[in-house]
Amino acid sequence: MSTRTHTESLTVPRRMRRRSSPNRPAWEGPPTVLGQTGKSVALILVALAVLFPLYTVVLTSVSSNATVNAAGGMVVVPGEITFSAYRQILSGGIVTRSVVVSVIITAVGTILSTVVSILAAYGLSRPNSLFHRTILFVFLITMFFGAGMIPMYLLVSGLGLIDSLWALILPGAVSAFNVLILRSFFMGINPSITEAARIDGAGDWRILWKIVLPMSGAVIAVVALFYGVGYFNSFFNAMLYINDNAKWPLQLVLRSYVLQGVTLPGSGAGQVNVETGAVTGLPVKMAIMVLALVPILLVYPFVQRHFTKGVIFGAIKG
Amino acid sequence: MTATATQTLTTSGPETPGRRSAATPRPAPGRKLSLRHRLRRDGALLLMVLPAVALLIVFAYVPMLGNVIAWLDYSPYVGIIDSVWIGWDNFARVFQNATFWHAVANTLTITAFQLVFYFPIPIILALLLNSVSTPWVRSTIQSIVYLPHFFSWVLVVTIFQQIFGGAGLLHRVLANAGFDGFDLMTNPDTFLVLITSQAVWKDAGWGIIIFLAALGTVNPEQYEAATMDGAGKWGRIWHVTLPAIRPTIILLLILRLGDALTVGFEQLILQRDAVGADAAEVLDTYVYYQGVINGDWAFAAAAGLVKGVVSLLLVLGANKLAHLFGEDGVYRKS
Amino acid sequence: MSTLGTRRAMARRTTAMIGAVGAAALVLSGCGSPDEQGTSVASSDGAIEETSLPAYVPIDAVEPDFPGVDGSPSGYLELPDPLVKGFDSPPGSGGEYTAMTPLWGTIPPTSGNQYLDAVSEAMGTTIDFQISDGNTYGDKLAAVLASPKDMPDWISIPSWNVPPRFGTGVDKLFEDLTPYLGGDAAKDYPYLANIPTDAWRACSWNGKLYGIPQPAEGNLGNWFFYRDDLLPDAELPTNADEMLEFVEQNTADGHYGTDDLWDIAQIMFAVPDKWAVGDDGKLVSKFETPEYRAALEWTATLFASGAVHPDAVAGDTSGAQQRFESGQVLVTGGGVGYYHEALTRMRATDPDFSIKLMPVFAADGGTPVLYKTPAAGICSYLKKTDDEAQVKELLTAANFMAAPFGTEEYQLLNYGVEGVHYTPGEGGVPQPTELAQTEIQPTYIFLVGAPIAIAKTTLPDYVENYTTWMAQNVEYLTEPPFFGQNITEPSQYASLGQPFEDLASDIARGRKTIDDLDKAIETWKSSGGEELRAFYQEIYDGAEQGD
C-alpha cells in the first residue's frame, strides 16, 4: 500500500479509512495492517516480558510460606495471601526514620548535583573557550580512574564527615557522565539563537538562564532523574561512613533484611523473631524489591511529562 | 545504557546536527586572541565550571592519589607513607597470572557481542515507542518497561533461574509436553546469549529514556516537510528521526567503547558456579578473586590503573574514529 | 546505570561490597591471612603459651539435662527457677563506650531502646552500638581499621571477616589482654574464666591474648541434615556409597535428593582444611591428599547422578535453605547452627516440621576422622589505649555479658525485661512481645558469649538430638595441624588456593575432569606452593620442638 499524502487521506471516505487514532498526525498517513500488528505484537511481547516477572515478584511477596514452599520458589498461581512480609519490614525499628533520611539526602543531593552539573555543562559548551580541553579532561579522567575504598574513607574521615549526611552527598555529587550528557545537549542548541542574544548584549549567565535552560527541560529532567535515582538507591557509602544507625538511609536498612534470619549460636535473642504466621526468606526478599520500586513509581510520571511527544519543540519558528 | 539528549532546533529542514556553526566570535584569520581577551570573554564560563571542578578535585582526585599504592607493598596497618616502594611488581603480578589474558579475552568478547546485540535495543525500542500514536499506550508501556532496572542482579538472576533453570517453569512446561528438559542457566556455550538477554531485560527499558527525551523534542514540522518531500515511513526515520538522535548515539558509543573492559560484576559472580570460571571470568572478577578478596589493595589498584589507561586510550581512539566519520564525538580539537 | 560517580566506580564499589557476602551459615576456620614479606619467620606467629591463656574455671549455674562430654555443649530442657543472681549490684563504673558489631537482620533502634537501656543499667556500663550490615562487614572493617582514629572502643570481628594481614596490625590497633587475663588474672573475671580455653586460643595472635571469644556451638561445624519428618523410617547411610544411593532414591516426582554437598563431602572424606602431616613429618597440602581427590570424585558422581537440585547446580546458595525447608530437597549440608534456626523458622507455621543431623560416618564406613573446628567463631577486640581503667571496665562489662545460662543476667541479655519484652509462658518459657521483635537483636552476643547452652526450650527434640549428636562425636575428634593458631601468610601466596575453588566447582559439574586436578597441583607447586609449604613447615617444626 502506498503512502498517501496527508491531503489525500482527508478526502477518503471515513468508513474506508483504516482505523487510526485521533492523535495520529496527519502527515503520517493511515496505518498499515502489517505496521499495526507488527507494532502491537512487539509491544505486547515487551510488556509481557516485564509484567510477568513483576507479577510473580509481587505475588510472591504477599504469599505465605506454605504457598511459596508448595510452588517451589516464586509463586505463579495465587495461593494463600498474607501481608506479613510488609508488616514485618515496615514495623522494623528504624524504617520510618530511614525514609526521612533518604528523602532528605535525595532532595538535597539532586538539587545540588543538577545545578552544579548544569553550570559545568554550559561552561564546557564552547570548545574555543579558555582551558576548555583541560577542564574537559578533568571530567573525563574521573570516568576512567577511581579511588580505592580505603583512600576514600581516609579522605571523608579527614574532612570530618564521618557520620554526617554530607558524606552521602558530596563524594558522588558530580557525575562526569551526566555533565557530558548536558553538555552535548547544550552544544546542540541552534547557535543562531544564542548569537542573536549575544548581539543584543546578553552575557553568558543571562543566556544560560533565559535561553538555554527553558529549552532544556527534557534533558534536565532526565539528568535530575538519574541523579535522584542514584542518591536514593545508594547504600554503600552509608554503610561505610555512617555509624549512627539513626542516620541510615532506607536502602541500607532494607538490604539488611536480605539475609534475615541468620541467627547465631546460643543466642536466645534469635528466638524472638518469629511470630505465628510470620514469613521469612523469599516473600521478605520480594517484598523488599517491591518496596524498592515504590519511590520510582511515584516520581517517574512527573519526569515522563517532560518528554511526552510534542511538549517541547521549536522555541522559535523561522 | 543511556544516551544523551541532543536537541536540534534547526529551523530549516533536517540537517546533520552535530556540526556546529561557531557560537563564538572568531578572530580575523591569522590572529590569535590574547589570554586576557579570552579571559574576559570566557570568564563567566570558568566561573560556572568551578563548583563541579572543586568537588571533583576534592572527592575524585585527592583520593585518586591513593592509587600510588599500586607501586607499594601496601598494608593498611603500615599506612601509605610508610609502605615500601616495590616498583612495578604489583603490575607484573596482574599480568603474569594465566587467568589474566583469559579474563581479558572474555571481557572483550562480551563487549563486542553486547555492542551488537544490546546497544541498539534501547534505540529500536525508543523508535518503536515513538511511532505509537496512542498516548495511553505509549505512557503505559513507558511506565512499565523501565522497572526492571530497579531490580537487583540477585533478583534478575533468580527470576531467570526460576523460568529457565533446570527446575524452572520452562523446563516443567516442556517436560509435561514430553520434551527433554534443558538447563539454560548452566550451559557455558550459551552463556553469552544468556547474560546479554539478562542485561537487555534489566536495562534496555531504562536506556530508552534519554532517547525518548531527544525524540520528543523533534519539531513535527520536520516530519511534515519530509513527507511533503515524498518520504515514506522509513524515509522519515532515516532523514528526521535518526539524525535527531545521532549525536547522542555517537556519544554513548564512544563512552561505551571506553568502558569496554567493564562488562558487569555482580551479574557474573552470581552465575560463576553455574557455568564455570572459564566462561564467566572477566577483568573485574579476576581482580576481585586475585586481589580484593585477599585484601590485596595494591593489586587491585594496579589493575584499576591499567584498566583506566586502556579505557582512556580507547575513548580517545574512538573519538578520533568519530571525527573520521564527520562527527564531533566527545570533543574536537578545533 | 549509575549516575553517582561513574559506572566504573560503581563496579568497583560493588566489587568491594560483594567482598563480604561470604557470610554464610558455615563458619569455617578463620586463619590464613596474608602478610607482608615478614622479616624472619614464625617466631612471632607462634602459638600462645598455656600460661598466657586465661585459667579455666568452669561454673555450672544449673544442672544440665544433657551434660556435655569433654567440651561438647550441654542441653537444658527447662529454664531454671529461680535464676541465679550473678551480680548483686551493677559491676561497671558508669562509663560509656562505643562498639561496632555486625548484624544480619532487622536493625534495632539504638536510642530509646528499652532493652539496651535495661542492660546498660544492670551492667553499670553503657555500650553505644554501631551496628553494621553483616553482608558488607568485611569492607567496613577494612576501612575502619585503616583509620584508627575512627575506631570504636570495642570491635567485633567474625572469623570470616578477619582482614588479611591482621596479624601484623593487631598489636598496633588493639590492646594486649594477656596482662589482664592471662593465667590466674582471669579469676578476677569469673564468667570469662568460665569460657573454654580453646575458645580463647582461637582469638589469640602472635602468642598473646587479644580477642574475647564467642564460643562456638560445638567442635564440629557442619554435617548433613535430612528431613526426618518426610523420611521417618529411612535407613540412613553409613558410608559414602550408601549416601549416594540414599539421595538418588529420594529424587523423584519433582523433588530432589540433595543440594550441593561439596563442603560436607570433604568432612566425610576427612580432608584436612589446609595441611596434613605425612608419615615423614612433612606437610602435605590439602589439595595433594588422596582424601581431597576422593571427595572430588564422589561429588562429581553425585552431580552426575542428577540427584542435585538444578538451582544448586547453578550455584544458587542463597536459596538452599528455602529448598530444604520446602521439601524440594531432602538432604542438605549446613552449619550446625542451622538446626535450631530452621526449626524456629518453620515450626511457627508447620508444627510437624522436623530435621535431624545424620549420624556421623566415614566415607569408607570405618571410624570417622573429624577435624575440630575452631572453638570460637567470633572474637571481639578492645581498642588500644593507655587508659587502664577503661580496659578494666570493658572487661568487667564482658564478664557481665558472659554470664552463663541459669543466671538472671543471661535471661536479661537474651530475652529482655520481663513484662516489657516477654511474658513467662508455661514451663517458664519466655513468650516474646511485639516490642521484643523490634528491640532485641543480637548485639552483645557479638562481643562475648557465654559457653554455649543448648537451651531452646521450645524445641525439646532439638535439645536432646543435638547434644547427643555432639557428645557422640567427641571420640572421633582430632586436632588438625595448626589448630587454634592464627597464622599470617605472606601476601604473595594469598590467592594460590583460588584456582582450586573454581576447579572443584568445574569438576563437580563435569566441566573438567580429575586429571585437571593434577595439572592444577603442578601449577600450584610451581607458582609458590612449595614456598608456602616451607613457610608452614618451619612453623610446624618449631612448634614440635617446643613440646
Q: Give the per-residue SS3 of chain A.
A: CCCCCHHHHHHCCHHHCCCCCCCCCHHHCCCCHHHHHHHHHHHHHHHHHHHHHHHHHHHHHCECHHHHHHHCCCCCCCCCECCHHHHHHHCCCCHHHHHHHHHHHHHHHHHHHHHHHHHHHHHCCCCCCCCHHHHHHHHHHHHHCCCCHHHHHHHHHHCCCCCCHHHHCCCCCCCHHHHHHHHHHHHHCCHHHHHHHHHCCCCHHHHHHHHHHHHCHHHHHHHHHHHHHHHHHCCHHHHHHCCCHHHCCHHHHHHCCCCCCCCCCCCHHHHHHCCCCCCCCHHHHHHHHHHHHHHHHHHHHHHHHHHCCCCCCCCCCC
Q: Phi and psi for C182 in degrees, rounded to 5?
A: -70, 140
The candidate with the shortest Cα–Cα distance to B144, out of A312, C141, A43, C345, is A43
Q: What is the 3-state secondary structure (H, E, C) of C318-367?
A: CCHHHHHHCCCEEEEEEECCHHHHHHHHHHCCCCCCCCEECCCCCCCCCC
Cα four-point dihedral sign B110, B111, B116, B121: positive
C84 and C53 in a common domain: yes
**For the residues of B233-268, what is the DSSP string, one character each?**
HHHHIIIIIHHHHHHHHHHHHHHHHHTTT---SHHH
Question: At a CB cut-off of 8 Å and minimum separation 6, what does C547 contact?
Answer: none
Residue A279 pLDDT > 80, yes or no?
Answer: no
Q: Note the pLDDT of residue B81.
A: 86
Domain contains C42: no
- pLDDT the model gives residue C446: 93
Mean pLDDT: which of A30-39, A204-213, C425-434 is highest? A204-213
Q: Which three cell numbers stand for residue C29?
A: 576456620
Task: Give per-residue pLDDT as tens, C265-312.
Answer: 999 999 998 899 988 889 999 999 999 999 999 999 999 998 999 989
CB spacing of A126 vs B45 below 8 angstroms: yes
pLDDT in tens, A73-131: 778 888 888 888 888 777 766 788 888 999 999 999 999 999 999 999 999 998 888 89
In a domain, C7, yes or no: no
Residue among A73, A149, A264 whose CB faces C16 most closely:
A149
For residue C177, which of C158, C203, C148 has the smallest C-alpha distance?
C203
Q: Which pLDDT belongs to residue B181? A: 66
Cell of C372: 575440630
- Report the distance separating Cα B274 and Cα C506, nearest Å: 9
Note which residues in 321-340 of chain C have CB less than 8 A from chain B.
328
Work out the average pLDDT over C174-187: 93
Grid coordinates representing C510 are 563435569
C528-539 residue pLDDT tens: 899 999 999 988
How close C328 comes to chain B (CA, Å)? 10
A237-259, pLDDT tens digit by residue? 999 999 998 899 988 888 776 54
- Cell 543538577, located at residue: A114
Residues C100 and C163 both lie in one domain:
yes
Interface test with B, best of C18, C174, C527 (most B CBs within 10 A): C18
Length of chain A: 318
State residue A232's pLDDT score.
92
Tens of pLDDT, residue by residue over C73-105, are: 888 888 887 888 989 999 999 999 999 999 887
Note whether A5 and B114 are within 8 A (CB): no
State the residue for C-alpha cell 487514532. Answer: A21
* pLDDT score, position B10: 34
Question: Is C130 in contact with A172 (Cβ distance < 8 A)?
Answer: no
Instruction: Tell me if B167 and C311 make a contact (CB, 8 A cut-off).
Output: yes
Query: Distance from C541 to chain A by nearest Cα, in Å?
Result: 35
Residue A17 has pLDDT above 60, yes or no: no
The C-alpha of C340 sits at a distance from chain B's nearest C-alpha, in angstroms, of: 27
Mean per-residue pLDDT, C140-146: 92
Q: How confident is the model at residue C1 (pLDDT cuts 50, 70, 90)?
A: very low
Do C78 and C141 belong to one domain? yes
Q: Three-state SS for C256?
A: strand
Label residue A210 exposed, middle or buried (CB < 10 Å: 0-12, 13-18, 19+): exposed
Looking at residue C432, what is its pLDDT? Answer: 82
State residue C238 phi and psi, 5-degree precision.
-120, 0
Q: Are C381 and C170 in contact (CB under 8 A)?
A: yes
Interchain contact, C322 vs A281, CB within 8 Å: yes
The two beta strands, C329-335 and C488-490, are unpaired
- Is C12 within a domain? no
The helix-helix angle for B98-117 and B120-130 (nearest 10°) equals 20
- Nearest by CB: A47 against B23, B144, B255: B144
Task: Note whether residue C511 is domain-resident.
Answer: yes
Check whether residue C417 and residue C522 sit in a common domain. no
Assess contact for C455 and C463: CB atoms under 8 A.
yes
Number of H helices, E strands in chain C: 20, 21
Query: For residue A156, which phi and psi values (nearest 5 degrees)?
Result: -60, -40
Statement to judge: residues C383 and C400 lie in one domain = yes
**C175 and C135: one domain?**
yes
Please tell me which chains touch B, using 3 or more CB pairs under 8 Å as the contact test: A, C
Superfamily of domain A88-256: MetI-like (1.10.3720.10)
Which residue stretches of C19-136 are H helix? 114-123
Domain final residue, candidates C478, C512, C528 = C478
Domain range summary for chain B, segments of one domain joined by +: 33-87, 88-324
Query: What is the model's pLDDT at position B68?
Result: 92
Q: C348 in a domain, yes or no?
A: yes
For residue B206, list chain C residues with Cβ-Cβ distance below 8 A: 1
* CB-closest option in C3, C432, C438 to A92: C438
The CATH architecture one would assign to domain B88-324 is: Orthogonal Bundle (1.10)
Least-confidence region, from A304-318, C352-366, C384-398, C409-423: A304-318
How large is the average pLDDT for residues A247-275? 57
Closest by CA position to C452, among listed C468, C467, C432, C469: C467
What is the pLDDT, as a whole number, of residue A13? 52
Same domain for C444 and C325, yes or no, is no
Characterise B217 by phi-psi region: left (phi > 0), alpha (psi -120 to 50), beta (else): alpha
Q: For residues C249 and A159, give the distance between their C-alpha atoms in angstroms, rounded to a whole number.
A: 63
Q: What is the pLDDT of residues A140-197, one digit of tens each?
A: 999 999 888 889 999 999 999 999 999 999 999 999 999 999 998 898 888 888 889 8
**pLDDT tens readout for residues C383-397:** 999 999 999 999 999
Residue the block writes with cell 579469676: C187
Backbone torsions φ then ψ of C134, nearest 5 degrees: -60, -30
Closest approach of chain B CAs to the CA of C286, in angstroms?
19
Contact assignment for B290 to C11 by CB distance below 8 Å: no
In a domain, C491, yes or no: no
Chain A contacts of B55, Cβ < 8 Å? Answer: 116, 170, 173-174
Query: Based on the domain organization, do C403 and C445 belong to the same domain?
Result: yes
C169 shares its domain with C240: no
pLDDT beneath 50, residues of chain B: 1-24, 334
| C316 and C356 belong to one structural domain | yes
Q: Which residues contact A25 (CB under 8 A, 6 or more apart)?
A: B133, B220, B223, B224
C169/B contact by beta carbon, under 8 A: yes
> For residue C522, what pLDDT is reported?
93
d(CA A114, CA A112): 6
What cell was used for A92? 522494623
Q: What's the pLDDT score for residue A271?
A: 38
The set of chains that have 3 or more CB pairs under 8 A with A is B, C
C-alpha cell at B279: 566462561
> Is B22 in the A-facing interface, judged by CB distances under 8 Å?
yes
Cβ–Cβ below 8 Å for A245 and C1: no
Run of H or E including B62:
helix B62-64
Cell of A188: 546542540
Closest CA to C198 of C210, C180, C216, C171: C216
What distance in Å separates the CA atoms of residue A166 and residue A156, rounded to the nearest whole number?
10
Q: List all residues 6 or more positions away from C169 whose beta carbon is below 8 Å from its beta carbon.
A: B75, B76, B77, C145, C163
Cα distances (Å, whole numbers) of residue A66 to B44, B83, B146: 66, 57, 32
* Nearest in space to C348 (alpha carbons), one of C458, C480, C268: C458
pLDDT tens per residue, range C456-501: 877 888 999 999 999 999 899 998 888 888 888 887 788 888 889 9
β-sheet bridge partners, residue C285: C275
- Residue of C216, C322, C445 with shortest CB distance to A269: C445
What's residue A287's pLDDT? 87
Both C290 and C307 in one domain: the answer is yes
The pTM is what? 0.84
Q: Which pLDDT score, from 0 to 100, does residue A92 have? A: 64
- Give how far C400 is from chain B: nearest CA, Å: 32
Contact in structure between C47 and C543 (CB atoms under 8 Å): yes
N-terminal to C-terminal alpha carbon distance within chain C: 60
Pick from C492, C499, C511: CB nearest B188? C511
Residue B276 near residue C502 (C-beta atoms within 8 A): yes
C37 has pLDDT over 80 = no
Nearest to A263 among C6, C216, C341 (CB): C341
Q: Reduce the DSSP state of residue C508 to 3 states and report it.
A: helix
Residues C334 and C231 in one domain: yes
Residue A1 has pLDDT above 70, yes or no: no
Q: Do A262 and C23 touch (CB under 8 A)?
A: yes
CATH number of residue C126's parent domain: 3.40.190.10
What nine digits make up the cell of C377?
567463631
Q: Are B276 and B99 in contact (CB under 8 A)?
A: no
3-state secondary structure of C125: coil
Q: Is A181 exposed, middle or buried (0-12, 13-18, 19+ CB in 10 A)?
A: buried
Searching chain C, which residue's CA lies closest to the CA of residue A64? C349
What angle separates helix A176-188 from helix A95-123, to the nearest 10 degrees?
40
Cβ contact, residue pair B53, A141, below 8 Å: no
Apex C314 CA angle, B98 and B116, nearest 5: 65
Are the beta carbons of B262 and C11 separated by less than 8 Å?
Answer: yes
Number of domains into which chain C is organized: 2
Cell of C330: 531432602
Q: How many CB pairs under 8 A join A and C?
A: 239
So what's the pLDDT on residue C93? 92
What is the domain range of residue C257?
222-371+497-546
Cα B267-B270-B273 angle, rounded to 5 deg: 130
CA distance B304 to chain A (A): 7
**Pairing between β-strand C283-285 and β-strand C329-335 as defined by DSSP bridges:** unpaired
CB pair distance less than 8 Å for C349 and A64: yes
State yes or no: pLDDT of C2 exceeds 80: no
pLDDT tens-digit readout, A38-86 = 888 888 898 999 999 899 999 999 988 778 877 777 788 888 888 888 8
| Mean pLDDT computed over every residue of chain C | 84
